Structure 1
Amino acid sequence: MVDWTPDVLGDEFEQLTLDLGEDDQGPVVATLVRALPRPLRWWERLAGTSRPLESVDVLYIHGWSDYFFQKRLARFWTSRGARFFALDLRKYGRSLRQGQTPGYITDLRTYDEDIAAALDAMGRGADGTGTTRKLVLLGHSTGGLTLSLWASRHPDAADAVVLNSPWLEFQFASVRSAIAPMVELTARLRPLEVAPQVDLGFYTRAQQEVLDPDDPMEINLEWRPVQSMAVYAGWLSAILSGHRTVASGLSIAAPVCVLLSARSATPTRWSDDLTRADSVLVVDDIARASLKLGSSVTVERIDGALHDIFLSRHEAREDAYHRLATWVTGWRATW
């Protein structure tokens, strides 16, 4: 029997612990969160109302130094009838256990185990194809990179891919090939060597500055710290390998929607400009890399958006949801 339990997000959500065995730091788990759908009201049932995405499953994966907490994002999908699931990957958020190195991984393919366990728990089978229901993959930042690589390796699994500021290219794209050999060597010799911390906490401050009272959020700072988690050589090598694979071209068969801020800002000192731009990625480089994901890619550039599009100031956030709704409506019309 599947043991779903109450989630930290409250009555609308439940969680399921997925056992992934052990590694050299002990037991490893991932955590699947599901949003409980709103039942049709009596007058909707009487009218025979149907919702457009009732045959859709959505699987969301968070970014680096992150976890799932975006209730409104879940409601966007469930209000349209979809089943919404979010996965806290191993050693992140709900899945982080005492004694583990937060977020640490040396090969992004390892997450295939987390994704397979989630898809199986969703009733789709480990490869995601054991049902006639459509599958939407939804990823933010590093989660967008992970899901893009996974979708390319599993061409029959996803029916649509939605990416929120996916980390498809290194911030210094022109030097990626030059630094990769040094990073790989360090990863082999000293995989847990820590890179210097360059996050001054400005991205977190920007989110706090633009909090939307119509979309309140409670964030666990132990799971999503003000300054990002430590960057280790082994992990960075895995990320650069993923970037190199994207640069060579992926073959995602499903249509892809990429949501990006209209511009980037360098977070060397605090300014209000950081509340209206992506201070994490170079969005123009990400836009170019997005075109290498597959043969059907839509890139939406949102003025005033932060790195996590759905945590932006009110106007940009509403624009993002409007554009996503438009894209989803168009995708739904192709069935």
Structure 2
Amino acid sequence: MNSWVPDVLGDHFERRTIPLESDSEGEVVATLVRYRPAPRVRLAKPVAGGADVLYVHGWSDYFFQTQLAEFWHNAGARFFALDLRKYGRSLRPHQTPGDIADLAAYDEEMEIALEIMSEGEPQRRPLILMGHSTGGLILSLWADRHPGRVAALVLNSPWLEFQARGAGRAALAPLVGMQARLEPHASLPNVDFGFYTRSISSTMDGEWTYNLDWRPIRGFAVHPGWLNAVLAGHARIATGLSIDAPVLILLSAHSAVLPRWTPDMMRADSVLVVDDIAVRAVRLAPIVTVARLDGALHDVFLSAADVRADAYTQVIRWLRAYLPSR
């Protein structure tokens, strides 16, 4: 197992490469990132004191949200983020970006990451999972398959349903499934017009600076094998899960999923139909809280400063109510 080394995010961030089982494209790795600022004396018991947070990014994405790490540290948790195989720090030149045939295959890096997080600990800390978009889908399914492992689940605009809704997914799934078996890496039409990138990237109308190779303007090319895995995940969500931990869903109050740019995309989710996600959210667990934030982008924590502040307030309030005390 590789050791911790300085990360591209700079001071207080370190990364560790996780070797995984090779696949048809050869070497496969994941990458665990941790935030380790200098210790400080706390005057009050923090709301997430003693917990570990593991963050998982979305499609065509990777972890770069340093403010999010600082938030969890200030809340008293140890913060970690996982760049899944074939994303971000884990992507290798010979690989198809984001390629996966079954979302359950991510169990491999999840388990290794959790083992690394517990190194040197006398007992496992309470685990808070946090996922964005496709990462929210992956973590929801993981938590359902692994009862008793998660203390709380925080989902930031989780991709819980296909944009064409259940009927569109049901019609499309057999065709995608057949193509996934015959040509899993064939190219599918790219429906990402780059509008979401325009709303967040400092090279355009946004305020955030990140690696455009790891998070391309119009996203990664979509392939049948990957899409088939996602649609299967959506179908499983539609049947209802039984996650045995409280779940917080953070969503924009509005969607702006359109084929042309509009200024509304600076204050709305331009990727998902958030009303459909809210409907699916209540099928995840017995205890689900849905917070709708006016002006939020697809990644709530990349929204304008006032919206981010509201989102962090919602998380703190929810943790006080639902995070089991030690």
Smaller-chain TM-score range? over 0.9
Q: How far apart, CA to CA, are the structure 2 residues paired with 1:285 and 1:299? A: 12
Label 1:247 to 1:59 Cα distance change in 2 as closer, same or farther (>3 A).
same
1:77 is displaced (CA, Å) by 0.6
Aligned with residue 54 of structure 2, among 59, 63, 76? 59
Which secondary structure state, in structure 2, belongs to the residue aligned with residue 289 of structure 1?
helix
1:330 is displaced (CA, Å) by 1.7
Taking the TM superposition and a 5 Å limit, the aligned residue runs for 1:1-335 are 3-41=3-41, 44=42, 50-123=45-118, 131-173=123-165, 174-208=167-201, 211=206, 217-332=208-323
Q: Deviations over 1:65-117 (max 9, x none)?
A: 00000001011111122110000000000000111000000100100001011
1:331 is displaced (CA, Å) by 2.2
Q: TM-score, normalised by structure 1?
A: 0.92
Gaps of 5+ in 1: none
Q: How far apart, CA to CA, are the structure 2 residues paired with 1:94 and 1:176? A: 31
1:229 is displaced (CA, Å) by 0.4
Q: How far apart, CA to CA, are the structure 1 residues paired with 2:212 and 2:100? A: 21
Which secondary structure state, in structure 1, belongs to the residue aligned with residue 12 of structure 2?
strand
Q: 2:320 is matched by which residue type in structure 1? A: T
Q: How far apart, CA to CA, are the structure 2 residues paired with 1:306 and 1:175? A: 24
Aligned residues: 323
Q: How far apart, CA to CA, are the structure 1 residues paired with 2:154 and 2:192? A: 27
Q: How far apart, CA to CA, are the structure 1 residues paired with 2:154 and 2:179? A: 34
Gaps of 5+ in 2: none
Which secondary structure state, in structure 1, belongs to the residue aligned with residue 272 of structure 2?
coil
Q: Which runs of 4+ in 1 moved over 3 A?
A: 49-52, 208-212, 332-335
Q: How far apart, CA to CA, are the structure 1 residues paired with 2:144 and 2:213? A: 33
Label 1:333 to 1:253 Cα distance change in 2 as closer, same or farther (>3 A).
closer
Q: How far apart, CA to CA, are the structure 1 residues paired with 2:317 and 2:206? A: 24
Label 1:270 to 1:16 Cα distance change in 2 as closer, same or farther (>3 A).
same
Label 1:52 to 1:37 Cα distance change in 2 as closer, same or farther (>3 A).
farther
Q: 1:178 is matched by which residue type in structure 2? A: A
Q: How far apart, CA to CA, are the structure 1 residues paired with 2:195 and 2:152? A: 33
Q: How far apart, CA to CA, are the structure 1 residues paired with 2:315 and 2:273? A: 22
Which secondary structure state, in structure 1, belongs to the residue aligned with residue 40 of structure 2?
coil
Q: 2:185 is matched by which residue type in structure 1? A: L
Q: How far apart, CA to CA, are the structure 2 residues paired with 1:237 and 1:200? A: 22
- Between the aligned residues of both structures, percent identity stands at 55
Counterpart contact for 2:252–2:297, Cα < 8 Å: yes
Which secondary structure state, in structure 2, belongs to the residue aligned with residue 11 of structure 1?
coil
